[in-house]
Amino acid sequence: MLKTKHEYWKTANLYLAAFLFSKNSIVVGIDATERRAIFSFLDSPERQTWQEEFESGTPMIDVRIYICALETLKQKRLDALMQSDGEQQ
Query: Number of structural domains, the chain?
Result: 1
The answer to whether residue 1 sits within a structural domain is: no
The answer to whether residue 63 sits within a structural domain is: yes
pTM comes to 0.84
HSE-CB at 18 with a 13 A cutoff on CA atoms is 21
Per-residue pLDDT tens listing for the chain (89 residues) = 444 567 999 999 999 999 999 999 999 999 988 888 999 999 999 999 999 999 999 889 999 999 999 999 999 999 998 887 666 55
**Residue 69 sits in which domain range?**
8-88
The answer to whether residue 2 sits within a structural domain is: no
